[in-house]
Amino acid sequence: MPSALFTPITLGEQTIPNRIAVAPMCMYSADDGSASDWHIQHWMSLGISGAGMITFEATGVERRGRISHGCTGLYSDANEAAMARALAPARRVAAPGAVFGVQLGHAGRKASSQLPWLGGGPLTPAQDAWQTVGPSAIPFAPGWPTPTALDEAGIEAIVAAFVQAAERAARIGLDFVELHGAHGYLLNEFLSPISNRRTDRWGGSLENRMRLIVTIARAVRAVLPARMFVGARLSATEWVEDGFTIEDAIAVAAALKAEGVVYICASSGGNAHDQQIPIGPLYQVDFAEAIRNGAGIATRAVGMITTPAEAEAVLREGRADMVALARAILADPRWPWRAAYELGAEAYAPPQYLRSLTTMKHWVVDDDD
Protein backbone atom coordinates (compact mmCIF):
# COMPACT_ATOMS: atom_id res chain seq x y z
CA MET A 1 0.00 0.00 0.00
CA PRO A 2 1.51 3.41 -0.89
CA SER A 3 2.48 5.58 2.05
CA ALA A 4 -0.19 8.08 3.12
CA LEU A 5 2.53 10.44 4.33
CA PHE A 6 4.07 10.60 0.86
CA THR A 7 0.77 10.97 -1.01
CA PRO A 8 0.38 14.46 -2.54
CA ILE A 9 -2.30 16.82 -1.24
CA THR A 10 -3.94 19.75 -2.99
CA LEU A 11 -4.62 22.91 -1.01
CA GLY A 12 -6.21 25.71 -3.00
CA GLU A 13 -4.39 25.76 -6.33
CA GLN A 14 -1.21 24.13 -4.99
CA THR A 15 -0.45 20.43 -5.09
CA ILE A 16 2.08 19.55 -2.41
CA PRO A 17 4.28 16.47 -2.90
CA ASN A 18 3.84 14.98 0.59
CA ARG A 19 1.97 15.56 3.83
CA ILE A 20 4.93 16.36 6.05
CA ALA A 21 4.69 19.94 7.28
CA VAL A 22 7.23 21.90 9.26
CA ALA A 23 5.36 23.67 12.06
CA PRO A 24 6.05 27.36 12.59
CA MET A 25 8.96 27.88 14.96
CA CYS A 26 10.23 31.18 16.32
CA MET A 27 13.99 31.52 16.03
CA TYR A 28 14.29 34.78 18.02
CA SER A 29 17.09 35.77 15.64
CA ALA A 30 15.65 38.66 13.65
CA ASP A 31 16.81 42.26 13.69
CA ASP A 32 13.87 44.69 14.05
CA GLY A 33 11.69 42.09 12.36
CA SER A 34 14.12 41.30 9.54
CA ALA A 35 15.17 37.69 8.93
CA SER A 36 18.93 37.28 9.41
CA ASP A 37 21.69 34.96 8.17
CA TRP A 38 20.44 32.50 10.79
CA HIS A 39 17.16 32.25 8.90
CA ILE A 40 19.00 31.55 5.65
CA GLN A 41 20.66 28.43 7.05
CA HIS A 42 17.54 27.44 9.03
CA TRP A 43 15.10 27.72 6.14
CA MET A 44 17.58 26.07 3.76
CA SER A 45 17.94 23.20 6.21
CA LEU A 46 14.16 22.81 6.40
CA GLY A 47 13.92 23.10 2.62
CA ILE A 48 16.56 20.39 2.09
CA SER A 49 14.57 18.12 4.45
CA GLY A 50 12.15 17.35 1.64
CA ALA A 51 9.08 18.33 3.71
CA GLY A 52 6.18 19.38 1.51
CA MET A 53 5.04 22.38 3.53
CA ILE A 54 7.23 24.83 5.39
CA THR A 55 5.63 27.49 7.57
CA PHE A 56 7.87 30.34 8.67
CA GLU A 57 7.68 31.40 12.29
CA ALA A 58 5.09 33.65 13.97
CA THR A 59 5.71 36.96 12.22
CA GLY A 60 4.39 40.22 13.61
CA VAL A 61 2.10 42.22 11.35
CA GLU A 62 3.18 45.31 13.26
CA ARG A 63 6.25 46.13 15.32
CA ARG A 64 4.47 45.91 18.68
CA GLY A 65 2.87 42.65 17.53
CA ARG A 66 6.16 40.76 17.76
CA ILE A 67 6.54 38.35 20.67
CA SER A 68 10.11 39.48 21.35
CA HIS A 69 12.80 41.82 20.07
CA GLY A 70 14.13 38.84 18.08
CA CYS A 71 10.92 37.89 16.27
CA THR A 72 10.38 38.34 12.56
CA GLY A 73 7.90 40.88 11.27
CA LEU A 74 6.39 41.92 7.97
CA TYR A 75 5.75 45.56 8.80
CA SER A 76 8.52 47.29 6.82
CA ASP A 77 10.17 47.23 3.41
CA ALA A 78 13.35 46.02 5.12
CA ASN A 79 11.48 43.04 6.64
CA GLU A 80 10.04 42.19 3.24
CA ALA A 81 13.43 42.32 1.51
CA ALA A 82 15.07 40.23 4.24
CA MET A 83 12.45 37.47 4.06
CA ALA A 84 12.72 37.39 0.27
CA ARG A 85 16.52 37.11 0.55
CA ALA A 86 16.26 34.08 2.86
CA LEU A 87 13.41 32.42 0.97
CA ALA A 88 15.26 32.26 -2.37
CA PRO A 89 18.02 29.77 -1.43
CA ALA A 90 15.57 27.66 0.63
CA ARG A 91 13.35 27.28 -2.42
CA ARG A 92 16.30 26.30 -4.59
CA VAL A 93 17.09 23.27 -2.42
CA ALA A 94 13.52 22.22 -1.55
CA ALA A 95 11.54 19.38 -3.12
CA PRO A 96 9.79 20.33 -6.37
CA GLY A 97 6.31 21.55 -5.44
CA ALA A 98 7.15 22.19 -1.78
CA VAL A 99 5.25 25.21 -0.49
CA PHE A 100 6.58 27.97 1.71
CA GLY A 101 4.36 30.21 3.80
CA VAL A 102 4.46 32.52 6.77
CA GLN A 103 2.49 32.48 9.99
CA LEU A 104 1.12 36.00 10.36
CA GLY A 105 0.37 36.97 13.90
CA HIS A 106 0.10 39.59 16.57
CA ALA A 107 1.34 38.73 20.03
CA GLY A 108 -1.24 40.94 21.78
CA ARG A 109 -0.92 40.86 25.57
CA LYS A 110 1.94 38.33 25.34
CA ALA A 111 4.11 40.64 23.23
CA SER A 112 7.14 42.41 24.67
CA SER A 113 8.58 39.16 26.01
CA GLN A 114 12.13 38.11 26.74
CA LEU A 115 13.90 35.53 24.57
CA PRO A 116 13.28 32.05 26.02
CA TRP A 117 16.96 31.29 26.56
CA LEU A 118 17.23 34.53 28.56
CA GLY A 119 14.41 33.35 30.82
CA GLY A 120 11.24 34.31 28.94
CA GLY A 121 8.51 36.34 30.68
CA PRO A 122 7.73 40.01 30.14
CA LEU A 123 10.50 42.47 29.31
CA THR A 124 11.41 45.05 31.93
CA PRO A 125 11.54 48.78 31.05
CA ALA A 126 15.35 48.52 31.02
CA GLN A 127 15.04 45.87 28.32
CA ASP A 128 13.13 48.22 26.04
CA ALA A 129 9.67 46.83 26.86
CA TRP A 130 6.72 48.20 24.95
CA GLN A 131 3.02 48.72 25.74
CA THR A 132 0.98 45.67 24.79
CA VAL A 133 -2.60 45.57 23.51
CA GLY A 134 -5.44 43.07 23.87
CA PRO A 135 -9.19 42.69 23.66
CA SER A 136 -9.56 43.69 27.33
CA ALA A 137 -7.27 45.18 29.96
CA ILE A 138 -6.55 41.79 31.54
CA PRO A 139 -2.94 40.64 31.98
CA PHE A 140 -1.92 37.16 30.84
CA ALA A 141 -0.79 36.13 34.32
CA PRO A 142 0.19 37.67 37.64
CA GLY A 143 3.35 39.71 37.08
CA TRP A 144 2.56 40.41 33.43
CA PRO A 145 1.76 43.95 32.26
CA THR A 146 -1.82 45.04 31.69
CA PRO A 147 -2.54 45.42 27.96
CA THR A 148 -4.40 48.42 26.58
CA ALA A 149 -7.85 47.32 25.42
CA LEU A 150 -8.06 48.06 21.70
CA ASP A 151 -10.75 50.53 20.64
CA GLU A 152 -12.68 50.30 17.37
CA ALA A 153 -10.05 52.27 15.44
CA GLY A 154 -7.32 50.15 16.99
CA ILE A 155 -9.02 46.94 15.84
CA GLU A 156 -9.43 48.31 12.33
CA ALA A 157 -5.72 49.16 12.30
CA ILE A 158 -4.90 45.56 13.26
CA VAL A 159 -7.01 44.24 10.37
CA ALA A 160 -5.22 46.65 8.02
CA ALA A 161 -1.83 45.50 9.35
CA PHE A 162 -2.71 41.87 8.58
CA VAL A 163 -3.72 42.89 5.06
CA GLN A 164 -0.50 44.83 4.47
CA ALA A 165 1.62 41.97 5.79
CA ALA A 166 -0.26 39.52 3.54
CA GLU A 167 0.43 41.78 0.57
CA ARG A 168 4.10 41.71 1.49
CA ALA A 169 3.97 37.90 1.69
CA ALA A 170 2.52 37.83 -1.83
CA ARG A 171 5.24 40.16 -3.17
CA ILE A 172 7.91 37.97 -1.56
CA GLY A 173 6.53 35.05 -3.57
CA LEU A 174 5.31 32.90 -0.69
CA ASP A 175 2.70 30.25 -1.44
CA PHE A 176 0.45 30.68 1.58
CA VAL A 177 -0.20 32.57 4.77
CA GLU A 178 -1.28 31.02 8.06
CA LEU A 179 -3.24 33.16 10.52
CA HIS A 180 -1.96 32.62 14.04
CA GLY A 181 -5.10 32.12 16.10
CA ALA A 182 -3.44 29.99 18.78
CA HIS A 183 -1.23 30.00 21.87
CA GLY A 184 -2.69 33.04 23.63
CA TYR A 185 -1.72 35.63 21.06
CA LEU A 186 -4.06 38.39 19.91
CA LEU A 187 -6.47 36.47 17.67
CA ASN A 188 -6.71 33.71 20.30
CA GLU A 189 -7.21 36.38 22.99
CA PHE A 190 -10.25 37.67 21.11
CA LEU A 191 -11.62 34.12 20.66
CA SER A 192 -11.35 33.24 24.34
CA PRO A 193 -14.01 34.21 26.91
CA ILE A 194 -11.19 34.33 29.49
CA SER A 195 -9.25 37.15 27.85
CA ASN A 196 -12.10 38.81 25.92
CA ARG A 197 -14.61 40.53 28.21
CA ARG A 198 -15.76 43.09 25.67
CA THR A 199 -19.40 44.08 25.41
CA ASP A 200 -19.24 45.53 21.88
CA ARG A 201 -19.47 43.63 18.58
CA TRP A 202 -15.98 42.14 19.16
CA GLY A 203 -16.87 40.34 22.41
CA GLY A 204 -19.54 38.39 24.26
CA SER A 205 -21.06 35.70 22.03
CA LEU A 206 -18.82 33.30 20.13
CA GLU A 207 -19.99 34.97 16.94
CA ASN A 208 -18.66 38.29 18.24
CA ARG A 209 -15.43 36.80 19.64
CA MET A 210 -14.61 35.18 16.30
CA ARG A 211 -15.36 38.37 14.38
CA LEU A 212 -11.73 39.51 14.39
CA ILE A 213 -10.18 36.35 12.94
CA VAL A 214 -13.05 35.96 10.46
CA THR A 215 -12.79 39.60 9.37
CA ILE A 216 -9.03 39.23 8.93
CA ALA A 217 -9.42 35.99 6.96
CA ARG A 218 -11.87 37.69 4.60
CA ALA A 219 -9.70 40.78 4.17
CA VAL A 220 -6.49 38.79 3.66
CA ARG A 221 -8.10 36.38 1.18
CA ALA A 222 -9.41 39.35 -0.80
CA VAL A 223 -5.94 40.80 -1.43
CA LEU A 224 -4.03 37.59 -2.10
CA PRO A 225 -3.59 36.19 -5.60
CA ALA A 226 -5.56 33.00 -6.31
CA ARG A 227 -2.33 30.95 -6.40
CA MET A 228 -1.85 31.59 -2.65
CA PHE A 229 -3.88 29.76 -0.04
CA VAL A 230 -4.81 30.75 3.48
CA GLY A 231 -4.77 28.53 6.57
CA ALA A 232 -5.17 29.15 10.27
CA ARG A 233 -3.84 27.74 13.50
CA LEU A 234 -6.24 27.51 16.41
CA SER A 235 -5.88 26.54 20.04
CA ALA A 236 -8.70 24.02 20.03
CA THR A 237 -9.02 24.05 23.81
CA GLU A 238 -7.63 26.14 26.64
CA TRP A 239 -7.34 23.22 29.08
CA VAL A 240 -9.26 25.13 31.78
CA GLU A 241 -12.88 25.26 32.89
CA ASP A 242 -14.99 27.95 31.19
CA GLY A 243 -12.50 28.50 28.37
CA PHE A 244 -12.71 28.17 24.59
CA THR A 245 -13.69 24.61 23.68
CA ILE A 246 -13.30 22.17 20.81
CA GLU A 247 -16.96 22.81 19.91
CA ASP A 248 -16.12 26.51 19.63
CA ALA A 249 -13.09 25.65 17.50
CA ILE A 250 -15.25 23.63 15.10
CA ALA A 251 -17.61 26.60 14.72
CA VAL A 252 -14.68 28.95 14.08
CA ALA A 253 -13.18 26.53 11.57
CA ALA A 254 -16.50 26.37 9.69
CA ALA A 255 -16.71 30.18 9.61
CA LEU A 256 -13.11 30.42 8.36
CA LYS A 257 -13.79 27.82 5.70
CA ALA A 258 -16.68 29.97 4.47
CA GLU A 259 -14.12 32.79 4.00
CA GLY A 260 -11.84 30.62 1.86
CA VAL A 261 -9.47 29.27 4.52
CA VAL A 262 -8.40 25.81 3.35
CA TYR A 263 -6.77 24.20 6.38
CA ILE A 264 -6.74 24.37 10.16
CA CYS A 265 -3.71 23.43 12.22
CA ALA A 266 -5.10 22.09 15.49
CA SER A 267 -2.97 23.14 18.44
CA SER A 268 -4.07 23.97 21.98
CA GLY A 269 -3.43 26.06 25.07
CA GLY A 270 -1.29 29.11 25.70
CA ASN A 271 -3.92 31.62 26.79
CA ALA A 272 -4.65 30.54 30.35
CA HIS A 273 -1.71 30.69 32.76
CA ASP A 274 -3.27 27.95 34.94
CA GLN A 275 -3.80 25.46 32.08
CA GLN A 276 -3.30 21.76 32.83
CA ILE A 277 -2.14 20.05 29.63
CA PRO A 278 -2.02 16.24 29.54
CA ILE A 279 1.06 16.18 27.32
CA GLY A 280 1.93 12.90 25.66
CA PRO A 281 2.36 11.36 22.22
CA LEU A 282 -0.27 12.56 19.71
CA TYR A 283 -2.07 14.53 22.45
CA GLN A 284 -3.67 17.02 20.05
CA VAL A 285 -4.62 14.68 17.21
CA ASP A 286 -8.19 14.29 18.56
CA PHE A 287 -8.68 18.01 17.90
CA ALA A 288 -7.53 17.74 14.28
CA GLU A 289 -9.92 14.83 13.83
CA ALA A 290 -12.88 16.61 15.46
CA ILE A 291 -12.37 19.76 13.37
CA ARG A 292 -11.89 17.73 10.18
CA ASN A 293 -15.16 15.85 10.79
CA GLY A 294 -17.10 18.73 12.33
CA ALA A 295 -16.22 21.53 9.92
CA GLY A 296 -15.35 19.54 6.79
CA ILE A 297 -11.99 21.26 6.35
CA ALA A 298 -8.50 19.84 5.85
CA THR A 299 -6.59 19.66 9.11
CA ARG A 300 -2.95 19.54 10.09
CA ALA A 301 -2.25 17.55 13.24
CA VAL A 302 0.60 18.69 15.48
CA GLY A 303 2.06 17.99 18.87
CA MET A 304 4.40 15.19 19.89
CA ILE A 305 4.16 13.33 16.63
CA THR A 306 7.69 12.04 16.51
CA THR A 307 7.97 8.79 14.56
CA PRO A 308 7.17 8.10 10.90
CA ALA A 309 4.89 5.23 11.99
CA GLU A 310 2.86 7.58 14.21
CA ALA A 311 2.55 10.16 11.43
CA GLU A 312 1.56 7.53 8.89
CA ALA A 313 -1.12 6.11 11.25
CA VAL A 314 -2.67 9.56 11.89
CA LEU A 315 -3.19 10.00 8.15
CA ARG A 316 -4.14 6.43 7.36
CA GLU A 317 -6.82 6.45 10.08
CA GLY A 318 -8.30 9.60 8.53
CA ARG A 319 -7.68 11.69 11.63
CA ALA A 320 -5.95 14.54 9.76
CA ASP A 321 -4.82 15.48 6.26
CA MET A 322 -1.27 16.51 7.14
CA VAL A 323 1.07 16.20 10.07
CA ALA A 324 3.25 19.02 11.31
CA LEU A 325 6.50 18.47 13.13
CA ALA A 326 8.32 21.04 15.22
CA ARG A 327 10.94 19.69 17.63
CA ALA A 328 11.46 16.38 15.84
CA ILE A 329 12.39 17.99 12.53
CA LEU A 330 14.44 20.70 14.23
CA ALA A 331 16.47 17.93 15.87
CA ASP A 332 16.61 15.84 12.71
CA PRO A 333 16.05 17.68 9.43
CA ARG A 334 16.59 14.33 7.69
CA TRP A 335 13.35 13.02 9.29
CA PRO A 336 11.46 12.93 5.94
CA TRP A 337 14.28 10.89 4.30
CA ARG A 338 14.22 8.42 7.18
CA ALA A 339 10.41 8.31 7.03
CA ALA A 340 10.52 7.54 3.31
CA TYR A 341 12.92 4.66 3.93
CA GLU A 342 10.76 3.27 6.74
CA LEU A 343 7.52 3.60 4.79
CA GLY A 344 8.91 2.34 1.50
CA ALA A 345 8.40 5.66 -0.27
CA GLU A 346 10.62 7.99 -2.30
CA ALA A 347 12.14 10.97 -0.52
CA TYR A 348 13.37 14.02 -2.35
CA ALA A 349 16.95 15.01 -1.70
CA PRO A 350 18.95 17.57 -3.64
CA PRO A 351 21.27 15.84 -6.13
CA GLN A 352 24.34 16.84 -4.14
CA TYR A 353 23.10 14.70 -1.23
CA LEU A 354 21.41 11.89 -3.14
CA ARG A 355 24.01 9.25 -2.37
CA SER A 356 23.42 9.67 1.36
CA LEU A 357 19.90 8.23 1.02
CA THR A 358 21.45 4.78 0.82
CA THR A 359 22.48 5.12 4.48
CA MET A 360 18.97 5.77 5.81
CA LYS A 361 18.57 2.13 6.82
CA HIS A 362 21.19 2.71 9.51
CA TRP A 363 19.05 5.42 11.09
CA VAL A 364 15.85 3.47 11.39
CA VAL A 365 14.92 2.97 15.01
CA ASP A 366 14.07 -0.66 15.73
CA ASP A 367 11.39 -0.74 18.42
CA ASP A 368 12.42 -4.28 19.39
CA ASP A 369 15.85 -3.17 20.55
User: Where along the sequence are the contacts to ligand FMN (CB under 6 A)?
Assistant: 23-26, 57-58, 103, 180, 182-183, 233, 267, 302-304, 325-328
Quickly list H helices, 49-200: 77-93, 152-172, 186-191
**Contact (CB, 8 A) for 54 and 329:** no
Pick the closest to residue 329 from 25, 28, 6, 103 (CA basis).
25
Q: Report the distance separating Cα 364 and Cα 360, nearest Å.
A: 7
Q: Report the distance separating Cα 182 and Cα 180, nearest Å.
A: 6
Select 47 or 203, whichever has its Cβ closest to ligand FMN: 47
Nearest approach, Cβ of residue 325 and ligand FMN (Å): 5
Select 25 or 123, whichever has its Cβ closest to ligand FMN: 25
Q: Report the distance separating Cα 61 and Cα 33, nearest Å.
A: 10
Task: Encode burial over 164-180: b for 16+ CB neighbours within 10 A, e otherwise.
Answer: ebbebbbebebbbbbbb
**Contact (CB, 8 A) for 245 and 194:** no
Select 105 or 203, whichever has its Cβ closest to ligand FMN: 105
One-letter amino acid of 359:
T
Nearest approach, Cβ of residue 197 and ligand FMN (Å): 24
Determine which helix (DSSP H) or strand (DSSP E) holds 287, and give its type and residue range: helix 285-295
**Which positions are catalytic?**
185
Note every long-range contact of 304-308, with CB atoms under 8 Å and residues 24 or more positions apart, other chains counting: 304/279, 304/280, 305/281, 306/281, 307/365, 308/5, 308/335, 308/338, 308/339, 308/342, 308/343
Nearest approach, Cβ of residue 232 and ligand FMN (Å): 11
**Contact (CB, 8 A) for 32 and 75:** no
Q: Report the distance separating Cα 210 and Cα 206, nearest Å.
A: 6
Select 23 or 357, whichever has its Cβ closest to ligand FMN: 23
Task: Give the residue closest to ligand FMN by C-beta.
Answer: 326
Nearest approach, Cβ of residue 339 and ligand FMN (Å): 14
